[in-house]
Chain A
Amino acid sequence: MSVAEKHASRFNFRRLWALVQKESLQVVRDPSTILIAFVLPVVMLFLFAYAVSLDTQEVPIGIVLESDSAAAQSLAAAFSGTRYFTVTPARDRREVAGEVVGGRLRGYVVIPQDFDQRLASGARPPLVQIITDGAQPNTASFVANYAQGVIKIWQSAHSPAVGSVLSLEPRFWFNPEIESRRFLVPGAIAIIMTIIGTLLTALVVAREWERGTMEAIMSTPASVVEILVGKLLPYFVLGLGATVISALLAITVFGVPLRGSWLTLLSLSSVFLVPALGQGLLISAVTKNQFIAAQIALLSGFLPAFLLSGYLFEIDSMPAPLRVLTYVIPARYFVSSLQTVFLAGDIWTLLLPNMLAMLAIGIVFFAVALAKTTKSLDN
């Protein structure tokens, strides 16, 4: 009796341990949890890395060679030589025009008959026509820009005198090849962690309410803090596990460098899990229903992390109200931190403020969740 009463009072590690054990067993036995924690990251990484590539490569275009001169030939060869285009050669623009209309080519470049003469004369610069498929504006501008780039490079190589005296040589730091995968993959880890942290916790706490086990647990001397912490610890470990798997994939399969240290990466993930788990906890404390919890977790966790974190769309180019909104989205700080630690290194002056921001948001979530989860079935 007296023993039991002593236990009732304060935070008790034996009870916490019992709850952690219980939760871990449930995690291990529930195939859907394992699926979300370990299979989903792999699938998502592959999807994000391949499907959401912002680079365009091997765009099919036509080259209409109306001239047979050596210069024209070498310009055409410059087009075929770049990995950005796959080229369909033609003699007459009518051959390729139909293909552009049919959507099989994204555009075509016409090297006109008088290309050589103009080039030789120098007075009137040669005219090269670029036709693009404006129905897909992004690809169209890509074709136009890259075609111009190819021509410029060819021009300066072919006749340095004709080209501008000043030659620009852009260099992209951190991602020299400006490969979008390099910054998409670290960002994807943030999305995955949001799903694991927020969705999974929202579901499992709501499940306890639905199955009536929360009521049974609450009627024991276990305190709210013990119940919540016991719930979160296993998912915290699960979240870190998912980070490790995602990072390993990123490095080995997608060739993303990890310029910072693993320790930094893991501490960043740990800090991010605070707001992610807190948000999940809050959602399930309010809804107590798995279906609604899943909906809210997707709407308030996944979508903002996807759209407003700077992962896909640059925050600087968002309208001001949205830009303000991004400050309360923990994924925003995590995405930029991940990009830093992967592509630049352990730059603490950048990472620390981000970590502090995530912690602050997390503490707010936890405070509200704790206030909402009283050890009572009222409300």
Chain B
Amino acid sequence: MTNEMSAQVSQAKLSSQPAVKIVGVTKIFGVVEALHEISANILPGRLTGLVGPDGAGKTTLMRLMAALMAPTAGRITVANCDTVRDSNRIHTLTGYMPQRFGLYEDLSVMENLRLYAQLQGVEPNTHQDIFERLLTFTRLAPFTQRLAGRLSGGMKQKLGLACAMMGKPRVLLLDEPSVGVDPVSRQDLWKMVRELTDEGMAVVWSTAYLDEAERCATVLLLNDGKIEYDGPPDKLTATLKHRCFRLLDPKQERRIVLSRALNLKSVCDGVIQGNSVRAVLRKEATREEIDALAKEVGAEIAPVTPRFEDAFVDLLGGGPGGTSALAERMEPVNLKGDIAVECHELTRRFGDFIATDHVSFQVKKGEIFGLLGPNGAGKSTTFKMLCGLLKPTSGGAHVMGLDLRTAKSEAKSQLGYMAQKFSLYGLLSARQNLEFSAGVYGFDGATKRERIEEMIEIFHLQKYVRSSPEDLPLGVKQRLALACALMHRPPVLFLDEPTSGVDPITRREFWTHINGLVRKGVTVLVTTHFMDEAEYCDRVALMYQAKVIALDTPDALKRSVFKGGSDEPTMEDAFIQLIQSADAENATSRATKAP
């Protein structure tokens, strides 16, 4: 079977016939058009990235290719089999890993493998060989008896991949394999997938992380149900050559510099990168304005290599302006002390498990403080203790000088909290959600009405006040959640994974607001797994295995792993390196402890 297979595969590679042909595909759900007249080819022996923000139609396209749905119009063929007429054959030709990996959490690693082997009709006498190969490939061999539910995110993902590869598919479809997986495991996965494409398999990798696009051989960029770009990623980024600049070490506050840069007519996009500001010029714009700005703020200006995300934002017509209507309205925060949030030896146990282990740090007023770390590192637990949602086992925390143990409700009135996935009430309308949070913070009568109207105006929610949050686009939902959290104008704002799954334009809008608030003296604590978002932070605490293993400015963290050479390390490189050296340290300390 293996020989037969590889013979076919190499044949496929030679002919380089498309493995998947998508012709004029439209998919409509009720009144929503998820995909609009999409045509593309997916070639064997290549890693094709299906890239786009949430709700762009990636999962729909994946399911159509896996013959789990029928297109409303147009057709898809996989290895010349039609997905509607020959759906049975397609299920043997493709391996599909849905979001959340499709694993049975109450079955062990081995039981999951065996189930999928039997379902894929793999010959029983070859099972042993195939399992051994897959387990070595995924390095899961030591864990065969462990229940899938007890695996880490990265291990689940590898097991999901192993199950999807079971039947030696011609086409491997991976739907958002990197969601909820830390950068270290992500790197592993890239390696594995590259090996597969070298063998001639066509691999489709869908992702909302635009930085992943750069690693693909070719990219299908989806936005709002349409293909915006089809081709190698560097060809798209090449169009931005000579249009990307970095303003290094400005004398003025970098957030002000960003805001000014974004307000320039010739600039289409900009972000903060550590201590510098990165700006992308509009097509055919001249350097004049940006040069002038650099001079004025005393920054050194240097051209930089364009990134895929720059290209994407440019393709969509550029990001938002640099002024936040919200921050304009806010009154500056006056604070007696200099420290807004402080925790000391904060520890939380759940039974034998230590989720947060003696964590101490201070957050200054008007600072953006980021909490980074792989899944299960203890970010959320720490965060919840700082918001007074969870009692620490030992140690303590202060918000605006108020002890969370003794003055919990006073401390809570000083902070705004935006939870993961926004925690809005789906059965209430947008306005009722606003009314509820205004009521919760004790507003009534005229003040309440005033505040709500103000929030609706600032966040442009007029169109949506009557709809349920569930029916709103993700970006609008995010604005609504932020409005709810800011209703009482708190001096401290906690944001738990605020932008996961949100498209880059909306993310920039969001950060414009946050930057504006910070300039008014609001202190922001944020957890995130977007590495480039960590760059917005003044300081970052990297958490790993319940401990803070590094705490510094983003630039200093990147410098700490810099080993010379031409390529400057990215935030993600720093993250991976720091975790790996923490692992190494653990290993040596364990070795020295052993007799």
Contact = CB atoms under 8 A, between A and B. Distances in A.
B119 A211 contact: no
B96 A219 contact: yes
Given A18-B118, A213-B103, A8 B63 contact: no
Interface stretch (A25-33, A192-200, A266-274): A25-33
A212 B179 CA distance: 15
B91 A221 contact: yes
B14 interface: no
Contacts of B104: 22, 26, 213
A219 B576 CA distance: 34
Contact of A221 (B4, B88, B123): B88
A222 interface: yes
Interface string B149-172: 000000000000001000110000
Contacts of B94: 219
A333 B104 CA distance: 38
B290 interface: no
Interface stretch (A9-17, A158-166, A318-326): A9-17
Interface string A337-355: 0000000000000000000
Q: Give the most central of B68, B107, B121: most A CB within 10 Å.
A: B121
A2 B554 CA distance: 55
B105 interface: yes
Counting chain B residues whose Cβ lies within 8 A of the other chain, the interface size class is 35 or more
Given A3-B123, A12-B121, A377-B63, A220 B116 contact: yes
A361 to B, nearest CB: 32
Contact of B106 (A29, A216, A375): A29
Q: Give the most central of A5, A216, A222, A375: most B CB within 10 Å.
A: A216
B66 interface: yes
A213 B102 contact: yes
B111 A215 contact: no
A220 B120 contact: yes
A215 to B, nearest CB: 4
Given A18-B114, A217-B119, A220-B119, A375 B87 contact: yes
Contacts of A17: 118
B153 to A, nearest CB: 15
Nearest to A220: B119
Q: Is the interface of A mostly helix, strand, loop or mixed?
A: helix
Given A18-B114, A219-B94, A1 B4 contact: yes
A4 interface: yes
Nearest to B30: A379
Contacts of A21: 115
B366 interface: no
A25 B102 CA distance: 17
Contact of B97 (A8, A30, A216): A216
Interface string B64-90: 001111100000000000000001110
A8 B115 contact: no
B432 interface: no
Contacts of A14: 118, 121, 124
A215 B102 contact: yes
A4 B167 contact: yes
A218 B96 CA distance: 10
A25 B107 contact: yes
A7 interface: yes
Contact of A22 (B67, B69, B111): B111
5 contacts: A4-B167, A8-B92, A212-B99, A218-B68, A375-B68
Closest CB pairs A-B (n = 3): A216-B102, A7-B121, A18-B118
Interface of A: 1, 3-9, 12, 14-15, 17-19, 21-22, 25-26, 29-30, 211-213, 215-222, 375-378
Interface of B: 1, 4-5, 8, 63, 66-70, 87-89, 91-92, 94-107, 111, 114-116, 118-124, 163, 167-168
